[in-house]
Amino acid sequence: MKVYLYYKFKRMAKYQKQTRVLLAIDCVVFGFDGQELKLLIVRRGIEPEINKLSLTGGFVLANESADEAAKRILKQRTGLEGVYLEQFYCFSQPARDPIERTVSVAYFALIDINLYQQQITAEYHPEWFSLKKIPKLIFDHDQMVAMAKQKLRYKAALHPILFELLPQKFTLPLLRNLFEDLYETSLDQRNFSRKILSTGLLEKQGDKDKTNSRKGAFFYKLDKKHYKKNFHKFQHLIPNPSDTVELLVRAEKS
């Protein structure tokens, strides 16, 4: 009898007088093509704002976590899987969705465009846009992109996550170009090379990239064997990481 009452209660029990709230996922997908950082934008597949420019998104199913939903949605909407994906903020303004109260858990993903380009599906008409020329997006997606960019700047100043945007083998000029584009600044070539090599995180390869010059530039790889040992040295690569914290706080208040 007790077992029967327990399962009956479990089927009937609900929190009384509580408003229904939908849980959604939105993914800010950053890619690097070797020249500049870009944002992956798709066409929204449902009303409202159908066919308008949007981030990759969808709803969390009843039987999955937010992380599981983010991976599923990213694969369904873009074809991408096995990429770096990190939760960075929860957007919960009551009027952010005109149809129904929806809270969105936002993630950012990092990919090497040249490596994953063939994996991206064309179903939702994906397009890559330069971070300097992002068009108007639906709802509060512009705010999501701005905050994701600041979060990425903050994390990249303390952790070597930008390697997720690079091919397995890369040159120091390519790496410097990535940092310059993210932080919208110019870095001295010799000083940057000296600092990045002093971290002990890179392994010099025997071959060179001679695409841009006859002399060429040596390829490097991330030294995963000594990654944890030298991890802390990376934190001194960006001269003023506190600036990124200030930008981050400013973005969250806006």
pLDDT tens digits for range 80-93:
999 999 999 999 99
Helix 189-198 to helix 172-183 angle, to the nearest 10 degrees?
110
- Tell me, what's the pLDDT at 225? 76
What the chain holds in terms of domains, given with CATH numbers, is 22-157 (3.90.79.10), 168-253 (1.10.10.10)
Within the chain, where are the H helices? 2-12, 66-78, 113-116, 141-158, 172-183, 189-198, 227-230, 241-253
Cα dihedral sign, 200-202-205-210: negative
Residue with tokens 């800010």: 28
Q: Quick check: 63 pLDDT over 50?
A: yes
Query: Residue 113 to residues 119, 127, 150, 193, 243: CA-CA distances in angstroms?
Result: 10, 12, 21, 24, 28
Question: Residue 218 — φ and ψ, nearest 5°?
Answer: -65, 145
232, with CB counted inside 10 A (0-12, 13-18, 19+), is exposed
Nearest CA among 49, 25, 44, 47 for reference residue 103: 25
Question: Residue 61 — φ and ψ, nearest 5°?
Answer: -80, 160
- Tell me, what's the pLDDT at 198? 86
All residues at 6 or more sequence positions from 46 whose CB lies less than 8 Å from its CB, including other chains = none
- Tell me, what's the pLDDT at 105? 98
Nearest CA among 125, 128, 90, 120 for reference residue 107: 90
Q: How many CB atoms lie within 10 A of CB 219?
A: 19
Contact status, residue 150 vs residue 8, Cβ threshold 8 Å: no
pLDDT band at 242 (very low <50, low <70, confident <90, very high): very low
pLDDT tens digits for range 108-166:
999 999 989 888 888 899 999 999 999 999 999 999 999 999 999 988 888 888 999 99
Could you give the CA distance from residue 60 to residue 63 in angstroms, rounded to a whole number?
A: 8
Q: What is the rounded average pLDDT for all residues in the chain?
A: 86
pLDDT tens digits for range 171-208:
999 999 999 999 988 888 898 898 888 888 899 999 98
Contact status, residue 30 vs residue 161, Cβ threshold 8 Å: no
- Tell me, what's the pLDDT at 228? 67
Contact status, residue 162 vs residue 156, Cβ threshold 8 Å: yes
Higher pLDDT, 253 or 173: 173
- Tell me, what's the pLDDT at 251? 40
Q: How many CB atoms lie within 10 A of CB 102?
A: 19
pLDDT tens digits for range 25-39:
999 999 999 999 999
- Tell me, what's the pLDDT at 201? 86
- Tell me, what's the pLDDT at 230? 66
All residues at 6 or more sequence positions from 120 whose CB lies less than 8 Å from its CB, including other chains = 40, 78, 79, 80, 126
Q: Quick check: 96 pLDDT over 60?
A: yes
- Tell me, what's the pLDDT at 250? 46
Radius of gyration in angstroms for the set of CA atoms belonging to the chain, rounded to a whole number: 22
